[in-house]
Structure 1
Amino acid sequence: MARALLRTALRRSLDQVKYVTPVEVSGADDAVARVYQQVERDFGMLAPPVALHSPAPGALAACWMMLRESQMADGKVQRGVKEAVATAVSAGNSCPYCVMVHSATLQSLLGSAASTAVSAGRLDAIADPEVRAIAEWARRSASRQESQSQDAPFAKEQTPEIAGVAVAFQYLNRMVNIFLDGSPLPPTVPALARGSVLRVLGWFTAASARATLQPGASLDLLPAAPLPPDLWWAAGHPEVAEAFARASAAIDAAGREHVPASVQAAVRSRLADWDGRPLGPSRSWVEDEVLALPAGERAAGRLALLTALASFQVDQQVIDAFRREQAGDEALIASTSWASMAAARQVGSWLRIS
């Protein structure tokens, strides 16, 4: 029964995306189709967190490239450790969707005790000292103070993969918090069956996690670009460095097209003083900040600032106001992608690697 429910849930997974309409497989142009083919081949399904980017093909390729080359491709770090990093970062960002997906995979790879400990934030209960130390590092990496005061508990040659997963999920958590609900399972799955279906999902994703994936296979989706200085941690791993360089260039290009310069400046200024903690719970802080923007750019500023600093506060009202300034799904994805990447790169710049 659980397998049948999972198959149904996977077929309907794109229906879970909010605010935008993902490109259908049958109607995808070449740029989107190439990404979709890789996602289905390497991940085993068209994952909604990736597919939600499809109205903006550059952001779609960028998201997939960062995820594949840091987390999924073969390298110097075991996939179970990478899943622990993804789960710990997602738990720290209060992204229940990503926690459910990656803790389910973690359970299949490292066991239920480790999965429960990471997803619940009880990291001292992880039996394996290596996994425990890296998960603790990942959970603290979003705090400027804690990140800069801790040495990395892993070898230098493992840095690009582990830091890459952490930065990729700083990006992805923000997009998922906005465009997906809190569970990868649609509400049609009965409550009594949800635990079983999640376990089957873990087996399903773990099967793809155990596959051998050649590094660099996604790089031809975007043109070459130089590695920005704030992505220094990726140097030393050609495929991860290329992935993040190309992805950041594509997202920056989309930002130049859709995010006003005044909004970009406001986000960068706020991030420069940010300590890593989400702002809120009210939105009063952002209303004060957008008053400094031109009247016709305040909705874009509100969306970008909330995406970067408190993605859980983005709701229908914020989206509707943005659409009155900029219509179309591409503008919405490009704007949130740019702001999510700005925050993720800021977190990555804090990392202290010995």
Structure 2
Amino acid sequence: MRATLVQAGLRGLSTAQVRQVRAVRYGAADEKVARVYRELERDFGVLAPPIALHAPSPDVLAGAWLMLRETLLVPGTAPRAQKEAVSTAVSETNNCPFCISMHSSMLIDLVGYHDGALREPEARAAAAWATANATPDEGAGHPVPFPVEQAAEMVGTAVVLQYLNRMVNIFLGELPLPPGAPAASMTVVRRVLVWLIKSAERQGPRPGASLDLLPDAPLPEDMKWAEGHAAIAGAYARGAAAIEGAGRRSVPAEVRSLVLEHLEHWDGRPMGVSRAWVEDAVAGLAADQRDAGRLALLTALASYQIDQSVLDRFRAGSPDDRSLIDLTSWSSLAAARRVGSWMRFRPEDAPRPPAASTTPE
């Protein structure tokens, strides 16, 4: 009862954090959005802004929720601490202050720090694996610190954070606070949020309980890491199909092709501070597609470079909120899927010591 009262009190503060689109308030949501909101409070512990921001596009909202729920929140064989370590490491790689604050708070509560390092060696190894696998070349030579039966949970957690980091960088502030709240209040906010999240975890969210939010779909080839885990495979198949549909609905085919072409040659590393690269890239698009192309490329490859001018130029041609969520979600997942496609998740991928020499000295 106490957690329920706190959740109700935080609803308005959660939606107040959403920027760039009109937030859908808890009491004003239609049934499809309202169901996701209720499940967020039940299984996450709070109406989490990184998911709630998707509400202007309800099918995308459902897809983002399914991917997060089944990987990070549903208890599996991978410990929550290791998944929070992955979440924090991915968020640090993508320079997402909001997500770093949320996931590091949970991680510290679970395992603690000692002499500036995580106390639990398994959590440290999981974080190091996530950081290394942000690029294909470093991941190729890094140990895989978990058994293959945990691959769907671990890779799935990394992929959904790759996705959410990009969306959060566009639609939320640097801290999980409503506008005008003093940064000093974060100490109390962190304590309350961790308490709510842990309270929800103790309820034991059931695998697959939310899959009926979206119709069944085939698992894409680049998500074969989810095979063998029915609920996670189902969540990613459904989520990917919904977000692909949003892309077809709101992103010109030429823009989607341009983003996929750049992702094919991307090595996971930051694009730098200059935006000259994106202007060169969109120059080949038709004039009426360049604003969408610019936003889509920056979302996928450099969400930290997006400023108000980029969003305003896109809005001039596509003023509705759903189109903005559709485009950014499609681009974010395209990039996240690209990272997931090169992540090493089998123990046999780990580097082996050199064989003993049989050649006489």
CA contact (8 A) 1:149 1:352 kept: no
Aligned pairs for 1:38-49 within 5 A: 38-49=39-50
CA contact (8 A) 1:50 1:63 kept: yes
Among residues 229, 240, 257, which one is paired with 1:237 in the alignment? 229
Secondary structure at the counterpart of residue 342 of structure 1: helix
Among residues 187, 196, 199, which one is paired with 1:195 in the alignment? 187
Q: Output the TM-score relative to the length of structure 2.
A: 0.90
Distance 1:143 1:280 in 2: 16
CA contact (8 A) 1:105 1:203 kept: no
Secondary structure at the counterpart of residue 204 of structure 1: helix
1:341 equivalent in structure 2? 333
Give the aligned residue type for 1:236: G
* Identical-residue share of aligned pairs (%): 52
Give the aligned residue type for 1:312: Y
1:121 equivalent in structure 2? none
CA contact (8 A) 1:9 1:185 kept: no
Distance 1:10 1:91 in 2: 27
2:198 equivalent in structure 1? 206
Task: Provide Cα deviations, 1:14-71, integer angstroms capped at 9, x if missing partner.
Answer: 1111110122222222221221121121112211110100001111001000000001
Distance 2:322 2:7 in 1: 30
Q: 1:60 to 1:5 in 2, by over 3 A?
A: closer
Using the TM superposition, give the Cα deviation of residue 197 of structure 1 relative to its aligned residue in structure 2, in angstroms. 3.0
Task: Provide Cα deviations, 1:216-261, integer angstroms capped at 9, x if missing partner.
Answer: 0110000000000000100010000000000000000010011101
Among residues 145, 148, 167, which one is paired with 1:153 in the alignment? 145
Distance 1:211 1:205 in 2: 10
Q: Output the TM-score relative to the length of structure 1.
A: 0.92
2:108 equivalent in structure 1? 107
Give the aligned residue type for 2:327: S
Using the TM superposition, give the Cα deviation of residue 6 of structure 1 relative to its aligned residue in structure 2, in angstroms. 9.9
Distance 2:172 2:207 in 1: 29
Using the TM superposition, give the Cα deviation of residue 109 of structure 1 relative to its aligned residue in structure 2, in angstroms. 1.7
2:246 equivalent in structure 1? 254
Q: 1:71 to 1:131 in 2, by over 3 A?
A: same
CA contact (8 A) 2:133 2:344 kept: no
Give the aligned residue type for 2:208: G
Among residues 272, 293, 296, which one is paired with 1:301 in the alignment? 293
Secondary structure at the counterpart of residue 16 of structure 2: helix
CA contact (8 A) 1:6 1:201 kept: no
Using the TM superposition, give the Cα deviation of residue 87 of structure 1 relative to its aligned residue in structure 2, in angstroms. 0.8
Aligned pairs for 1:1-354 within 5 A: 11-111=12-112, 113=113, 125-354=117-346
Once superposed, what is the RMSD of the aligned Cα atoms? Answer: 2.0
**What 5-or-longer segments of structure 2 have no aligned partner?**
347-361
Distance 2:21 2:152 in 1: 32
**What 5-or-longer segments of structure 1 have no aligned partner?**
118-124
Give the aligned residue type for 1:27: A
Give the aligned residue type for 1:37: R
CA contact (8 A) 1:178 1:314 kept: yes
Rg (Cα) greater in structure: 2
Distance 1:300 1:14 in 2: 26
Distance 2:246 2:179 in 1: 34
Q: 1:10 to 1:140 in 2, by over 3 A?
A: farther
How many aligned positions are there? 343
CA contact (8 A) 2:42 2:200 kept: no
Task: Provide Cα deviations, 1:90-135, integer angstroms capped at 9, x if missing partner.
Answer: 1111100001111111122222x17x95xxxxxxx33322211111
